[in-house]
């Protein structure tokens, strides 16, 4: 099977989202061929290069979503009219208030129209940033029924929005929609929703290729959060939210199957109109082998140490964690907190970490056991890969309880890693935390340092409970969150989707499994198409019993035995006028086997012999009567009784004979 894997800001680049699970998917399904279609987000990401790709990756195509792009194409008059019509429909769908079906249809019509225009006349970069596009957007924002945020937009807002819209719609202008690119694959698998799935949406439109969308993090929510953290005004944020919401709705409507990574992502999809019948939860897979040693070691952890592992950013709410740890220290002075930070190369990421270090120094001044000891802080900031925490297993293995203090979370990967290490956990109730924990850890409300401190103290003071929860969490993680279960799920989904899709490309004769399998149901799902090269089937031939001298009627193709019998043309008296007392036996419609040796004394005829390679029916052939009818044959004649066609009675055969005149 040939699969197009669609990514945005991730695989095959060395940095970015969904890089690890995409690599595990491609390597784990080695019997399939993969074509990679990747959208990059920055020049820095492209400069970082690609990861090592396995041999089943046949093609890699990339396109940038960053920077200002002008391909130099200028459309003619007809193309400009088409652009104005399609962009007007898309703008009307964006600016219309509410979730009316007409607005979603207008957006879809405009989106597909622009895609067909780009496919026929070239890129849309200059057209989307042109003055007519700004005027069309301004008219849609001021139209009756427009959403509130759009009505407040001014000219600078319109210019800012069309610039961002052009970047989001760049997949419409790439050269991926030909018969030898996306038209040659069997399935499009988008590693995320939003812009990453846009090429698959167009492949479905142009070639009928089925689309599979996997979302471990909700792309729509990420777009909302990213827009809120920028310097653009509220009208631009409202228009961007409307665009990504309409795009998500259209993707969910056209996708053959949606595979959210958790119930949290599933609820977001349902809010955008996803059909529950097309949703199937597939948890992300983690490599459990690297945590085996720590998970099976019950004595290596410090019983008074709390561990936090993750990216240091405001959404993780380390401020609340530090205040909660201050409460823990008041109740248990020997407690310690290890903050293991995953390296982040994004600009501005160090500012929040510096703020957390300053707060920790203020809350926990260096302490010394006596006047001769060196002071030490109970809170340590470490970097993953450093001497204190060279690996994730070492980071989790250094403490007895793992803490998650986030206020915003999708799928908590760090929590699953702690569960694989058989560590008891304390988490805030956000995202898919409760679904992942499943009763094997403690959950508290977010932004509540006191509740977080009480839960940590409860586990630090009860080693037996801590060990029991850790063992249960490891068993749950091994059952639900391994790479093996993830690969098995997608292997079955690929075959299922392909089995419901028609064959769209030629395959070599005699190749096993070249055509998709169909389910074993009565009847046929599709209409049978006759093969013009196949010879017509010969009808079955009825032959007389072996040794009989009677002939059997051969039915011509397309005719029944009744048609072949037809009305008899007799040249003598009719069989119906047989005189009373005749010694003729009545004809029977059941073939009777007569011995030639027994008939010879009565009729004087010799047994019929059959030539080699011929049947008795071939030897008998059709008889042509030239004398009196067989029905008027005198007694003692050596002629055999007339054969009646199969399925007919003698009365029916006699009744269909035409009367003859007395002169005959």
Q: Hey, CA dihedral for 445, 446, 449, 453, is it positive or negative?
A: positive
Burial classification of residue 489, based on how many CB atoms lie within 10 Å of its CB (0-12 exposed, 13-18 middle, 19 or more buried) = middle
What does the pLDDT read at residue 505?
Answer: 55
Supply the mean pLDDT for the chain.
80
pLDDT at 434 over 70: yes
What pLDDT is attached to residue 370? Answer: 61
Q: What residues are paired with 213 via a beta bridge?
A: 190, 258
Give me the pLDDT at residue 647, please.
Answer: 56
- With a pLDDT cut of 70, the percent of the chain lying above it is 72
CA 65 to chain centre: 25
89, 39 contact by CB (below 8 A): no
4 pLDDT above the threshold of 90: yes
Burial class (CB in 10 A: 0-12, 13-18, 19+), 403: buried
User: For position 460, what pLDDT does the model report?
Assistant: 96
Over the stretch 167-189, which tens digit does the pLDDT of each residue have? 999 999 999 999 999 999 999 99
| CA separation, residue 650 to residues 516, 554, 592 (Å) | 54, 19, 15
Q: What is the pLDDT of residue 544?
A: 45
pLDDT score recorded for residue 74: 75
Integer Cα distance of 192 and 65 in angstroms: 15
Look at 97-111, 378-392, 594-608 and tell me which has the smallest mean pLDDT. 594-608
Give the Cα separation of 36 and 48 in Å (integer): 17
* Percent of all residues in the chain with a pLDDT value above 90, rounded to a whole number: 55
pLDDT digits (tens, 9 = 90+) for 456-505: 999 999 999 999 999 999 999 999 999 999 999 999 999 999 988 765 55
Q: What is the rounded CA–CA span in Å between residue 663 and residue 562?
A: 30
Q: What is the pLDDT of residues 358-389, one digit of tens each?
A: 999 999 987 665 666 666 789 999 999 988 88
Q: Does the reported pTM lie above 0.85?
A: no
Q: pLDDT tens digits, residue range 221-259?
A: 777 777 666 677 889 989 999 999 999 999 999 999 999
Give the pLDDT of residue 17.
76
Give the span between the Cα atoms of 105 and 94, in whole angstroms.
11
Query: Is the pLDDT assigned to residue 157 strictly greater than 50?
Result: yes
* Mean per-residue pLDDT, 340-354: 83
Per-residue pLDDT, averaged over 205-230, amounts to 82
Instruction: Report how far Cα 547 is from the mean position of its chain's Cα atoms.
Output: 66
| Structural tokens at position 127 | 């057209």
Per-residue pLDDT averaged across 559-583, rounded?
47
């Amino acid at each position: 099977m040939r699969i197009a894997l669609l990514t945005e800001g991730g695989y095959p680049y060395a940095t970015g989202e969904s890089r690890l699970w995409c690599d595990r998917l491609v390597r784990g399904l080695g019997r399939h061929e993969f074509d990679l279609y990747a959208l990059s987000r920055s020049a820095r990401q492209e400069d970082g290069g690609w990861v090592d790709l396995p041999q089943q990756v046949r093609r890699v195509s990339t396109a940038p979503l960053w920077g200002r792009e002008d391909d130099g194409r200028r459309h003619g008059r007809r193309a400009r009219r088409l652009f104005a019509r399609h962009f007007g429909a898309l703008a009307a769908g964006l600016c219309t208030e509410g979730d009316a079906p007409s607005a979603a249809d207008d957006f879809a019509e405009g989106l597909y129209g622009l895609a067909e225009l780009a496919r026929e006349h070239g890129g849309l970069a200059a057209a989307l940033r042109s003055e007519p596009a700004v005027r069309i957007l301004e008219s849609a924002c001021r139209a009756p029924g427009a959403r509130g945020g759009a009505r407040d937009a001014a000219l600078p807002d319109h210019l800012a929005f069309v610039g961002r819209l052009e970047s989001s719609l760049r997949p419409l202008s790439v050269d991926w929609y030909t018969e030898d690119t996306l038209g040659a694959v069997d399935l499009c698998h988008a590693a995320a929703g939003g812009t990453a799935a846009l090429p698959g949406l167009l492949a479905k439109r142009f070639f009928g290729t089925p689309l599979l969308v996997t979302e471990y993090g909700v792309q729509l929510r990420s777009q909302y959060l990213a827009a809120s953290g920028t310097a653009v005004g509220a009208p631009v944020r409202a228009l961007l939210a409307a665009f990504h919401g309409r795009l998500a709705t259209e993707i969910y409507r056209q996708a053959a199957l949606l595979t959210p990574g958790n119930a949290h992502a599933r609820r977001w999809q349902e809010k955008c109109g996803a059909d529950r019948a097309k949703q199937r939860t597939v948890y992300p897979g983690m490599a459990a082998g690297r945590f085996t040693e720590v998970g099976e070691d019950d004595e290596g952890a410090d019983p008074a140490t709390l561990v936090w592992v993750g990216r240091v950013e405001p959404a993780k709410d380390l401020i609340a964690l530090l205040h909660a740890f201050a409460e823990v220290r008041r109740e248990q002075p020997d407690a310690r907190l290890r903050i293991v930070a995953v390296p982040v190369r994004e600009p501005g990421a160090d500012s929040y970490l510096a703020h957390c270090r300053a707060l920790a120094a203020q809350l926990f001044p260096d302490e010394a056991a006596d006047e001769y000891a060196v002071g030490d802080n109970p809170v340590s900031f470490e970097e993953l890969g450093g001497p204190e925490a060279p690996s994730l297993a070492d980071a989790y293995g250094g403490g007895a309880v793992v803490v998650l203090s986030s206020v915003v979370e999708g799928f908590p990967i760090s929590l699953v890693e702690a569960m694989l290490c058989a560590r008891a956990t304390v988490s805030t109730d956000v995202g898919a935390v409760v679904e992942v924990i499943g009763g094997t850890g403690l959950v508290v409300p977010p932004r509540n340092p006191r509740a977080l401190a009480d839960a940590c103290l409860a586990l630090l003071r009860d080693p037996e409970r801590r060990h029991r929860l850790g063992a249960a969490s490891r068993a749950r993680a091994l059952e639900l969150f391994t790479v093996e279960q993830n690969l098995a799920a997608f292997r079955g989904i690929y075959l299922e989707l392909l089995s419901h899709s028609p064959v769209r490309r030629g395959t070599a004769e005699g190749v096993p499994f070249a055509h998709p399998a169909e389910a074993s149901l009565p009847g046929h799902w599709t209409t049978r198409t006759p093969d013009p090269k196949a010879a017509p089937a010969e009808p079955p031939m009825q032959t007389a019993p072996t040794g009989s001298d009677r002939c059997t009627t051969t039915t011509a193709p397309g005719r029944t035995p009744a048609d072949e019998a037809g009305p008899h043309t007799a040249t003598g008296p009719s069989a119906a006028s047989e005189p009373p007392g005749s010694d003729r036996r009545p004809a029977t419609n059941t073939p009777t086997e007569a011995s030639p040796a027994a008939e010879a004394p009565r009729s004087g005829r010799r047994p019929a012999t059959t030539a080699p390679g011929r049947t008795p029916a071939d030897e008998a052939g059709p008889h042509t009567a030239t004398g009196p009818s067989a029905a008027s044959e005198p007694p003692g004649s050596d002629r055999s009784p007339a054969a009646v066609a199969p399925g007919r009675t003698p009365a029916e055969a006699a009744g269909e004979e035409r009367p003859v005149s007395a002169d005959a």
